[in-house]
Structure 1
């Protein structure tokens, strides 16, 4: 039995494309096609219909797909048990994360964790909220840091509430204010931080029924800070990313405080490897002290 053949079948059905399945699994398109042909020959059934518009699962393939998925899930559980028998002497933890967590949380978390488990390796994928959520669903990462709430079929662990602060240049007329007025967001060009479909900053605008003059949109926090420093506009950024910033900018709490909830998202806590489970325990313990 070759688990990769099962994965080739599953991912081709999910993506409706040999090419996309090949990109996800890091194979050639012909390699994916060959593995599925092998499965069809072994099982004596047609799994996919192929034409110029792409590929579609057959009725026989639809009946067999859940069983192929269960085999892959069982294989993941087997590997997790092997890790446990080896006492966490090795392992890989794949994490989806956004920039502020990657910069200010994960380095210390990983350093401390590796003092006890030095042979555990980490793979970090940096993306926006939508990308991270999709990576979790697709199994590309073991878990992801995400703004909550997430999709209802995902398991979540709440970690922290992160303030959203107005970011202004040092010479801004409201530089001395204690709390930045909501209407002040309308008095200068606005630099919008986008982290995917879930945009907590746009929710602030909707809540207060305002429409700032958005001149620039990016998912990179530091680009926002650099432009604000140069007087090109103002913005709102999470407090977490504003630690140890090299830019000459001011951070002000909004007159109506706003927050984002940061948490961990995964498909199923019961099926993660021992290494992942141990790291999740460490994160939650760290967050309580």
Structure 2
């Protein structure tokens, strides 16, 4: 069993495609398929179900994948630790973030990090807070930036609170509310909303606020990125609520203070143990001690 075979399995599992996995691994598809087939013969079990329409993990593949990731992570960490022992920071830095992160200037932090540690490969993953928390717990991501309602806190990871913020209403320039200095949740509840998918942290903070006020609302549109929220708000299809520290970068919409708005907390999280030298160096740039 070889590390490269494990890399191929992980790539296929994450892309659900032998073709895309080969492109990611910079290898021809036939070579990737051959190595996975060779590994399957060695293990005595098929790792993937292959049809003309899709590729998915078998039960054996589901069992193999976490261990394969751990092996690859251990190998990368071993190489990074050797480099750190001779005064170099190398390896990979995987950073997850929500689309509306505002407490930290991520591009600037990465610019500083890149200048200091040019040999580190950086992967950025944008996602929902609950997914990013799980990815840090599993070691897929090293560090992640989250936004959660005040009723929630990341579990199973090291955590530092970065900032607290209130949501504001976002409406089209021609909307009847656009000229108002403030608005209430009750008034907003009469509008059609665009929001994040039900159950996600970005949605829960608003749902809880309306429920606590004894109000219901019509969320006619669900999107996964804040950018697309504004693309629906701008033409007047819906209204929304977004963090006040995020909205200054938006164009083509009007923001209004909500008198009884919900709050959210931004966090940075990282693995409690086994963090890489690259992760420790990035946290240091953020002013966070990885041993906290």
TM-score (norm. length: structure 2): 0.71
What is the aligned-residue RMSD (CA, Å)?
4.1
- Equivalence map 1:1-289=2 (5 Å): 2-4=2-4, 28=32, 31-38=35-42, 40=43, 55-56=58-59, 74-88=74-88, 90-101=90-101, 105-148=105-148, 149=152, 152-194=155-197, 197-198=200-201, 199=203, 200-252=205-257, 254-266=258-270, 268-284=271-287
Instruction: For residue 236 of structure 1, report the CA deviation from its aligned partner.
Output: 0.5
Query: Cα–Cα, structure 1 residues 24 and 261, in superposed 2: closer, same or farther, change >3 Å?
Result: farther
Deviations 1:199-247 (Å, cap 9, x if unpaired)?
2222222222322122222122222223323222321012232123222
Query: Cα–Cα, structure 1 residues 207 and 79, in superposed 2: closer, same or farther, change >3 Å?
Result: farther
Counterpart Cα distance in 2 of 1:98 and 1:193: 12
Looking at secondary structure, tell me which structure has more helix per residue: 1
Q: What SS does the corresponding residue of 2:249 show, helix, strand or coil?
A: coil
Counterpart Cα distance in 2 of 1:226 and 1:51: 39
Deviations 1:134-154 (Å, cap 9, x if unpaired)?
433443322222234466333
Query: Cα–Cα, structure 1 residues 245 and 281, in superposed 2: closer, same or farther, change >3 Å?
Result: same
Deviations 1:63-109 (Å, cap 9, x if unpaired)?
x9999887666534422312312423543211122222399721111
* Structure 1 contact 94–122 (Cα < 8 Å) conserved: yes
TM-score (norm. length: structure 1): 0.72
* Structure 2 contact 183–256 (Cα < 8 Å) conserved: no
Counterpart Cα distance in 2 of 1:51 and 1:85: 39
Counterpart Cα distance in 1 of 2:127 and 2:180: 34
Counterpart Cα distance in 2 of 1:245 and 1:18: 32
How many aligned positions are there?
Answer: 269
